[in-house]
Amino acid sequence: MKTTATNKKIRELMTMLTNETLVSQPEFQRRLVWTNRHKQLFIETVLDNMPFPEIFFCDGAVDLNTGAGTTLLVDGQQRVTTLYQYFTGSDQFKPGDNIKPYADLEADQKAAFLNYDVVVRDLGTLTLEQVREVFRRMNSTNYSLNAMEVNNARFDGALKKVAEDMSSWSVFEDHRVFNTVDVRRMGDVRWCLDVIITVMSGYFSRSENHEEFLERFNDEFTEGPAIETGVRECLNLLASLNFDSKSRVWQKNDLFTLTVEIYRLGAKNCSDPAGLSAALTEFFDDVELVTSGKIPAKHNEAIQYRDDVISGTNERARRVRRGEVIRSLISPFFKAA
């Protein structure tokens, strides 16, 4: 495989993008989606004439009759795209206080920007399968990434930070909600994202809404503080009821449903904490009776709930059914908002 390193000036890259001879978003790339602040810091680096890591090219399709061809960007999509957004004055890049728009730079500053040397490593002619393999190896780990870990590698913005902050709350450690594998594989952050997105949009299957919301709220997440406050109030309410440490209340799937449904009712609207505690204790005792093979005497809903909480638990239909059961059970203990 050919792997020669050369320099290309930014002006050459801009011309290639304008002429569409450089393809900046091949289907195999799924990299970090930068916030506007990331973009600003990168442009500052270039304007200060500081270096940044090399980017990777390979040959694209070539017209054998005319000799015209394209070049594929194997690695460096965000950097090249940000340069182009800045150069063209795209509304997808906001310069900020410390960066003048390109159009407002002095002539010598524009020249310096356009003549900045970018280190390019040319991989030559590769098949699409070879390109995918190169990209995979460049971003490989020693185990397969789950969906949350992939999104963690792609997004570093506002919504993700709220979920990360939430996952570090002491209530989860105090009640042993997440085990060491959950934490190592970002299951705690995924759980928090599930809660945040669900209270915003309703129940959904698995993690199918994560990418959409992480991208939509990558730059700003103005709803974040209010949602954090509301979720914290839900968890504080449950903690104040002093359930046994082995109660289903503190198991991830049960806690997810409880948190979402209490959030919707408003934790501060709980008018009878003792009644809420007794109702949940009785219901979850019945769920345990179902698990042990005994039919519960009072709450027939426990049979369906138990099935929905242990099988296909992250499917939308099962989340909805669990929510309906819990909402019906706890709503008498909350006053109308």
Burial of 210 (0-12, 13-18, 19+ CB in 10 A): buried
For residue 248, what are the CA distances in angstroms to 157, 176, 236, 281, 322?
A: 33, 12, 16, 9, 13
List per-residue pLDDT tens for the chain, 337 residues long: 666 788 999 999 999 999 989 987 655 555 567 888 889 999 999 999 999 988 888 887 788 888 888 888 888 888 999 999 999 999 999 998 889 999 999 999 999 999 999 999 888 887 767 766 766 666 555 445 577 766 766 788 899 999 999 999 999 999 999 988 888 888 999 999 999 999 999 999 988 899 899 989 998 999 999 999 999 999 999 999 999 888 999 999 999 999 999 999 999 999 999 999 999 999 999 898 887 777 765 667 888 898 898 888 889 999 999 999 999 999 999 998 6
Whether 153 contacts 32, CB under 8 Å: yes
User: For the chain, what is the radius of gyration of the CA atoms?
Assistant: 26
Burial of 287 (0-12, 13-18, 19+ CB in 10 A): buried
- Picking from 32, 80, 38, 35, the residue whose alpha carbon sits closest to that of residue 56 is 80
Would you state the structure tokens that stand for residue 27, as one six-digit string? 């289907």
Q: Encode pLDDT of 63-102 as tens digits.
A: 888 888 888 888 888 899 999 999 999 999 999 888 999 9
- Picking from 201, 203, 175, 204, the residue whose alpha carbon sits closest to that of residue 188 is 175
Whether 199 contacts 263, CB under 8 Å: yes
> What single-letter amino acid sits at 185?
R
Distance CA 197, CA 209 (A): 8
Q: Encode pLDDT of 113-124 as tens digits.
A: 999 999 998 888
pTM of the model: 0.68
